[in-house]
Structure 1
């Protein structure tokens, strides 16, 4: 659909340009209405339409080229936004210049008007600056799972003024599941708020914990070893590959951190039981699915050794 639309835009731009040239060639003195030269006004209007359709056709052609050159949809989205801004500015400046016939004066006027707009439209301006910051610093991009100012979701669009999220959790669901709602945030929030990115491009994984309570009579060394074996059988190779990537990321920073490439278990004593916390690495969008599968496997493995692994008898946990 976009290819015919782009061709039509170029044809309309050429047609309006020819009409503008024809009207401009007509004797100006013969077409005067209320003191205004009608041919000049019509010629400017046709020239403006030619510029608008030309810019739109070039934009469609450029976006089609972007789609063929960049496979990554995140890159496509960001580059299209920048290209769209360039062509909008080009069309506006060219149209106003044609109407006023004063390029230098127009640029000066735009500077004065821009100074006034800075005070009148502070929030939209801050959001536009926020968009520029997002494009340069990359705190998040399309496809990332983020949390910003109490809102959590997957980024589906980053426009000039707003960021759109598909909400997860919220008031309707839990366990990091989509709620079906859309959240719209002004881009200006990145300039004054914390941004938590759970799946940034350099390391799209997070650590997760699964807690299992056992009785004091449990053979803790055996339970810990069994937990690690179950998790390692399910996640080990994938987790080791991700940790290798994480270590490469750490090597580029001054941070010195020991990171194990296999699941680990932390033991914590509670009032009436022992809490075994399995720590492992997973993708943020697969966290609940992985947790459910691990829990099923762990309970199955624990129930096969009732003589060595005991569960608390109380129901007050």
Structure 2
């Protein structure tokens, strides 16, 4: 694709998990990326410099869009805050009523979205699907992961295991009662270590404060608010008796980035076999534009 083919390409800049601009997790949404190929989407994501960008293409079905999500390094099968941000942008562009529903076809699955128009912001939620929980990780194996994130065994919540949980993107949940402020990736082979237990990323979760932190696997970029980890985190809390089925769980994130964010989670089903994770948050419009 040549540079001139970008002329007139529209984009929206939104902040997710916040009601106020310049807070929460920022995102670029491209409402009609039908003419773009993968390498161009990757280059645009790098140009916009947000943690992630989402590219939408209309389908033959009203309210259903193809979606591709990119970080500055790679394409993802699934992610949280881009999907919620996309719901708000689609509602702004195509929603005639205060409530709207959309479907996004991702590489991994199709996601149902609900969106409400509020006074100055949007409230979006998505059905992340059935959480899948891996085997508990304890003892020396758990300590190896704690050390890789600059933590010690005493930082871990007593009698709780580390565990891989996925609703589309597998996270290793590390339950903590202290030490959240010192979390950082401290080993060069962290990605390989995560792969050994079937995880793609990690999520350090203070189970008392219900506050989390997540990094890229090189430890270079901290994510402000990780929607794709919030469903797994909520499922973990329910599975281990730290939250109730159907409870409105709020997970805080972004404090250490100066972008405090609140992620809303509700787990359906039962504690031993949760059937659905619903994740949501507020979205505010920040800017819009087109490429010359």
Alignment TM class, shorter chain as reference = under 0.3
Output the TM-score relative to the length of structure 1: 0.21
More helix by share: 1
More strand by share: 2
Does 1 or 2 have the higher relative contact order (CA < 8 Å, sep 6+)?
Answer: 2
